[in-house]
Structure 1
Amino acid sequence: MHFKVREILGEEKVIESLNRFNVHFTITNQLINNEEIMSAPLYNEKFVLLVHKDDELNEKESITFQDLAKKELIISTTGFQTRDDILKAFKNEKALPNIIYEIERLETACSLVEEGLAVTILPESYVKSVATTHTAIRAIDSNFLERTVYLAYLKDRYLSPAVCKLVEEIHSFFNERDRNGY
């Protein structure tokens, strides 16, 4: 058996990849509202703040959106769900972001933070794997920074038993992870 993992960014490209049979399924942070596509929730996760270890926010006991409004922010470019989620949280918290850098790859945001150029808000599952000795992960005091990650596939497409088993294993993995509190 051979697996090919593709990184497909943006809702339009996800839908196109499914419709063209370029992929069997996707894991995405966007709820795809398309009658031909099934989107099943996998897990929920919080967003967290990534700061340089020497940043004054790393010293604060609690970080609010009002604190973040004073900082230079790195955020995804237009068209990314992560950007929409973060901007919606700023709006709900009645704060204005000070966006200095717009990026396409989260790795770029992490590199800029590591150099002490700004701060960024990232999904918790992602930031755990990229934190370095020069950065710190901090919680943000907000009820608006959470997202759902979905597994999406075409409803009427035949999926081989092997693909069906893989989808089942993915769901099982996240269900087990949630039961164990990870």
Structure 2
Amino acid sequence: MNLQQLYYFKTIAQLEHYTKAAEQLNVSQSRLSHAIGDLEKELQVTLFVHQGRNVKLTRCGAFLLEYVSQSLDILDRGLEKLSDFVNPDTGSIGLSYLGSLANFVTFCISRFFEKTGKVQVHFQFNQTVTQTIEDSLMEGHTDLAFTTPFDNKNIESVKIGSHKTILIVSRDHPLAAQDSVDLTTLANETFVTYSPQCMIRNHIDEIFQTVGIQPKISFEALYDSIVLGVVSANLGVALVAEAVDLTGCHVKALQIENEIPEREIHMAWVKDRYMTPAVKCFRDFIMESGMLLDQYKKK
């Protein structure tokens, strides 16, 4: 049994006529007859009986038609969705990104729609931590990621900009009277920071080493929102990426006076994995746009 036989069977059942079915399918009537004959032989049942110039389904044929029609309809819908999926104008793109990049991601998509006109492309968002992003890429659940670079030979990436790091304090904290701070003066402060699962934790630890302080860390969190909540409650201060959305939070951002490393942000994908046209189009747009994160920060 093959797919072609099932399409032939369904068409004959609908038209109740071999000649008309052959014309619609653009095949010879003899080919159609042989195909149905082979199908009947394999199934060991008679599917059609002749009534004058027409044919009618037998009881077995009517029983089979119900399931063949359902199966072919599902297959046809799947093929239509696959066509949409790989269509560069209507395809689907899975994006994973760090929480601090949420607004940047929507900025990128807005620019993409504006410059390419591909407004029917469907985006699926996954805002999460670095380790989960890497796993999602490798497992094929994510097409592209906006993140810090990975030490993984199977992942390729391109730099799209860098983040400065800022200090945030509660507006009730004495430091809120300042606009900038020397980190070496904060040795006695309580710090809120990120869990070791987050790559930004490595970056923050590097900053502490650079300025030569051993921070007193009382809170660790996976997400920016938790860090912001603890700082807002004046339970500690925190180093965060400058792109973190502070809107509506009871915190103040202070610039850091010390010379500290910036944090590179990359767009990443799995090396040599097939990309649908829509994914490739979006990736190439981001790459051709240059340091898009730096452009975003200047807008």
Q: Provide TM-score, normalisation by structure 1.
A: 0.87
Does residue 144 of structure 2 align to residue 25 of structure 1? yes
Q: After TM superposition, give the deviation of residue 170 of structure 1 in Å.
A: 3.0
1:141 to 250, 257, 281: 257
Distance in 2 separating the partners of 1:103 and 1:71: 18
Aligned length: 178
In the alignment, which residue of structure 2 is the partner of 1:9?
A: 129
Deviates more, 1:64-73 or 1:103-112: 64-73
Residue of structure 1 in register with 2:62 after alignment? none
- The C-alpha deviation readout for 1:56-110, integer Å capped at 9, x for no partner, is 1122354112222221110001121111111111111111111011111110110
CA deviation after TM superposition for structure 1 residue 147, in Å: 0.2
Say whether residues 1:168 and 2:288 are aligned partners.
no
- Deviation digits for residues 97-137 of structure 1 (CA, Å, limit 9, x no counterpart): 110111111101101111111111110011xx224362111
2:194 equivalent in structure 1: 76
Unmatched runs of 5 consecutive residues or more in structure 1 = none
Larger radius of gyration, structure 1 or 2? 2
| Residues 117 and 131 (structure 1), Cα distance of their counterparts in 2 relative to 1, 3 Å cut | farther
Distance 1:76 1:37 in 2: 24
Question: Residues 47 and 146 of structure 1 are in contact (CA less than 8 Å); yes or no, is this contact kept in structure 2?
Answer: yes
- Aligned counterparts of 1:8 and 1:179: Cα–Cα separation in 2: 23
Residue ranges of structure 2 left out of the alignment (5+ in a row): 1-120
Contact 1:86 1:145 in 2 (8 A): no
Q: Which structure features the higher share of helix residues?
A: 2
> Residue 61 of structure 2 aligns with which residue?
none
Shift of 1:54: 2.4
Equivalent position of 2:220 in the other structure = 102
Aligned Cα RMSD in Å?
A: 2.1
TM-score (norm 2): 0.55
Structure 2 equivalent of residue 155 of structure 1: 271
- Displaced runs of 4 or more, over 6 A: none
Tell me which residue corresponds to 2:246.
130
Counterpart pick for 2:208 among 75, 90, 96: 90
Identical-residue share of aligned pairs (%): 22
The answer to whether the aligner puts 1:49 opposite 2:167 as a matched pair is yes
In structure 2, the CA distance between the partners of 1:20 and 1:116, relative to structure 1 (3 Å rule), is same
